[in-house]
Chain A
Amino acid sequence: MAEKFMSTEWIRLVGKQWDTHQEIQKDLKNFNATWEYYIEDRPDIPHVMLFCKAGKIIYAGPSDGRHRDFIMWTNLDHWKKILSGEISGKSALMTRRLKFKGSMMTAMKYMTPFNIHLNILGEIPVDFNI
């Protein structure tokens, strides 16, 4: 069953799916960061976040007020295109279709895992009727 996009259940599945991707865990083995997602045109939907420690997701759930190294947001239509792979991660960043707060240097340094991470979001069966 598809989970509602940007729900707690959905982000937890993202965290589990991450565990199946050895490549991103290897690429991010020295990487510790928190990041948050939200839908720009749906302020009624709570933000969710991931916490990555040494390449592994150690928290996936509602944004809980802790420091966030990155925040990523865009409108629902752009989220659909990003998750379907219609827009690549780099293109989404460079064209600002995915809005981004945080270190651009870090994003550039980790562009390959950044793209993989967006693919992982897209691998979860999702219900956009929210």
Chain B
Amino acid sequence: MPTSNTAGESILHFTVDPNYSGKNLPGWFLMNTYLQRHLGQAMRFQSYDGFDACRAAVLANQYDLVYANPFDWVQYAQKLDFVPIAKPRNHFDEVYLCTSVATQIQEIADLPARIRVASAHPATLIHMVGLFLLDKADIDRARLEFVFTGSYQGVLKAILQGRVDVGFLFDEVYASASGLIRDRLRIIDRSNDAFAFHAFCIGPRLLSQRERLAQVLFQMDQEAGGQVLLRDIGFSGFAPVTGDELSCLTMLADEYISGHEAIDLRATSSLAIDDSAFVAAREDPDSGTT
């Protein structure tokens, strides 16, 4: 939604994934200033506390540039023709299963029979991978009772306040938390998939500046101001998103969001699942994706 300032210049609107609220936020305001200066274009940055509000605003066409989590950027690409142009270099989304050090839970095997789990939002990669970690540890999903907090800050609070037994925490949120907070958390498992990533996505109104914006992002690590800013937001640089990566993550997001499950579901859960769901989950390769 380009608006205009008092000088009649159009203003581009920029937002980031809600997990960047809190400690990371000043860096993202500076990122907005950096992009504004290098693009020579007025930009306005706004952040959100929760995933639903952020998605709704982007889907209502209120933004031209979004730094989004993988399942969201796939959605924006499909629904709004956004284009993912840059991802953090050598940096992937990973999940920590965290408990409070105030509990007796030292490892997954110590989790109680009925497990209260804090998760920011069910429609996130972090939630999906968190479930995978529990599946791999043979935790039956019928034992899980979710508390959806809307944000990772909410997950942190739920763990520290003892409202849950374990939380699915985005690794960047853990890393950017204060030492005081981290000292009160215990990581009992973590993913190491190096598969999915956040990305800068541009909307149709910014497409004409795609090359220029991409160059600004890719060259940030080559100048002093950019290097400082990259350190502030926790990255070493940005790299292009390839068509193959887009295709793989679109397949992954489509399967997850449409309710499919990995094909071992029946074996790892005592939840009642009818056969039609199982057949859909297995997919017919002849009509599947390539």
A interface residues, Cβ below 8 angstroms from B: 27, 30-33, 54, 67-71, 90, 93-96, 99-106, 108-111
Contacts and interface: CB of A to CB of B under 8 A. Distances in A.
Given A106-B264, A111-B195, 8 more contacts: A31-B263, A31-B264, A69-B282, A95-B244, A101-B288, A104-B255, A105-B252, A109-B132
A104 B251 CA distance: 6
A68 B247 contact: no
B267 interface: yes
Nearest to A68: B285
Interface string B254-290: 0110001111100110000000000001111110111
B223 interface: no
Interface of B: 128-129, 132, 135-136, 138, 193-196, 242, 244-245, 247-248, 251-252, 255-256, 260-264, 267-268, 281-286, 288-290
A102 B128 CA distance: 18
Given A31-B267, A111-B193, A105 B261 contact: yes
A31 B262 CA distance: 10
A39 to B, nearest CB: 16
Contacts of B248: 93-94, 96, 104
A69 B263 contact: yes
B264 A30 contact: yes
Contact of B268 (A30, A93, A103): A30
Given A68-B285, A90-B194, A103 B290 contact: no
A90 B135 CA distance: 21
Q: Which 8 A-B pairs have the closest CB atoms?
A: A30-B267, A101-B285, A104-B251, A106-B262, A104-B252, A109-B262, A96-B244, A30-B264
Contacts of B129: 108
Contact of B290 (A32, A54, A101, A108): A101
Contact of B285 (A32, A69, A111): A69
A68 B264 CA distance: 15
Contacts of A106: 262-264
5 contacts: A69-B263, A101-B285, A102-B285, A102-B288, A103-B255
Contacts of A104: 248, 251-252, 255, 289
A99 B149 CA distance: 38
A93 B256 CA distance: 18
A32 B262 contact: no
Nearest to B196: A108
A54 B268 CA distance: 11
Contacts of B138: 30
Nearest to B255: A105
Contact of B263 (A54, A71, A101, A103): A103
A56 to B, nearest CB: 14
Nearest to B244: A96
A33 to B, nearest CB: 6
B245 A94 contact: yes
